[in-house]
Amino acid sequence: MCRTARGSNIMSAEFYYGVEVFLNGLMAGVMYSLVALGFVLIFKASGIFNYAQGVMALFAALTLVGFQNGQIPFASLINAIFGTNLHSFGWHLPALLAILLAVLVMILFAILVERLVLKHLVNQEPIILFMATIGLAYFMEGFGDLMWGSEIKKLDIGIPQGGNGWVESHTAFLGGDDFYGFYLDSLDIVAAIVAVALVASLVLFSQYTKTGRALRAVADDHQAALSVGISLRTIWVIVWSIAGFVALVAGIMWGAKSGVQFSLSLIALKALPVLMLGGFTSIPGAIVGGLIIGVGEKMFEFLIGAPYLGGATENWFAYVLALLFLVFRPQGLFGEKIIERV
């Protein structure tokens, strides 16, 4: 950077607006990564593409809101059967306690999935396991509705929302009089920090702990893992619990942004192109893939989409990019290269 550029009017507001779009793209990318992460964890450890990951995020968010607002689970069902008129316990739990309870529910969910589904499908084809997760997704969707009701709920655990004033006022000096500083949503900033912390702890966990090493071992070779004394079933429960926790985090962030409702489960669709870029087996890949998609779609819209293509390119950009990747680098950016020995 040359000296004269600093704090001067040489850079146009248009340029800084571009930077802002870029930053917002990064933030959006983090949100995609959060969802993709859950897929990668389960795929790595068990070779299962978990179709239910999006619904898990919805279910986790529903549970969190339900606990927080003191909702009575299955209230409408109970009312319908017994003719009662129950709705709420009448208390309001602190956010932290509600999160803790939601985590416990997700762990319980992981145990049940292992007991009732996975256990019976050991050594089956991946497609069978995939089909099982489709069934799981629809079951959970209905179960979530039944348990907590299907109306749109507001998720508020005290994360600040709206434009971040601090960032705005501290970056205003960059441009000229017509530039008021970067507009970044506080929620996105929090989400980014949480995502970074989450990934860092996951990486530390898998590299430096006994359980982490066991997870990597199972991801690599089931039979060998058994022979060194690793219980596959325990590992699967742990993996699904972690994926459930990641789903909860994603559910909180997306739920706070756009409300907790059925469409929350569709965030899974946004994770697909991220996985194709990052590879299904790489945690850093999920992050970088998410960032590329987030920045890519925002910048494409800003530079090409809006001015030349009539806008709304964000809806399809990610999928087209993923398609290009599939053609030229099917293993993704970080996925293990597929070498077939002949």
- Binding-site ranges for other proteins (CB under 8 A): 208-211, 213-214, 216-217, 220-221, 223-232, 238, 336
Residue 283 · residue 37 · CB < 8 Å:
yes
Tell me the CA distances in angstroms from 317 to 37, 268, 275, 302, 323, one per residue in order.
Answer: 21, 16, 15, 12, 10
Closest contact distance (angstroms) between CB of 221 and other proteins is 5
Token pair recorded at residue 160: 């600040």
Closest contact distance (angstroms) between CB of 293 and other proteins is 26
Number of Cβ within a 10 Å radius of residue 29: 26
Q: How far apart are CA 241 and CA 248, in angstroms?
A: 10
Of 77 and 203, which CB lies nearer to other proteins in the complex structure? 203
Closest contact distance (angstroms) between CB of 233 and other proteins is 9
Closest contact distance (angstroms) between CB of 63 and other proteins is 23
Token pair recorded at residue 169: 């006022």
Q: Which long-range contacts (CB under 8 A, 24 or more apart) does 126-130 make?
A: 126/47, 126/48, 126/49, 129/46, 129/47, 129/48, 130/48, 130/49, 130/51
Of 9 and 209, which CB lies nearer to other proteins in the complex structure? 209
Residue 35 · residue 266 · CB < 8 Å:
no
Of 232 and 295, which CB lies nearer to other proteins in the complex structure? 232
For residue 232, the one-letter residue type is: L
Q: How far apart are CA 32 and CA 203, in angstroms?
A: 18
Closest contact distance (angstroms) between CB of 231 and other proteins is 5
Of 35 and 232, which CB lies nearer to other proteins in the complex structure? 232
333 three-state secondary structure: coil
Of 234 and 258, which CB lies nearer to other proteins in the complex structure? 234
Of 3 and 210, which CB lies nearer to other proteins in the complex structure? 210
Closest contact distance (angstroms) between CB of 241 and other proteins is 10
Of 81 and 339, which CB lies nearer to other proteins in the complex structure? 339
Q: How far apart are CA 288 and CA 33, in angstroms?
A: 8
Of 238 and 247, which CB lies nearer to other proteins in the complex structure? 238
- Which string of DSSP letters, residue by residue, matches 106-135? HHHHHHHHHHHTGGGGTT--HHHHHHHHHH
Closest contact distance (angstroms) between CB of 281 and other proteins is 9
Closest contact distance (angstroms) between CB of 229 and other proteins is 3
Tell me the CA distances in angstroms from 146 to 62, 63, 84, one per residue in order.
Answer: 11, 12, 16
Beta bridge partners of 163: 185
Closest contact distance (angstroms) between CB of 328 and other proteins is 23
Q: Which residue has the tokens 């790489």?
A: 282
Residue 64 · residue 252 · CB < 8 Å:
yes
Of 43 and 67, which CB lies nearer to other proteins in the complex structure? 43
Q: How far apart are CA 319 and CA 270, in angstroms?
A: 9
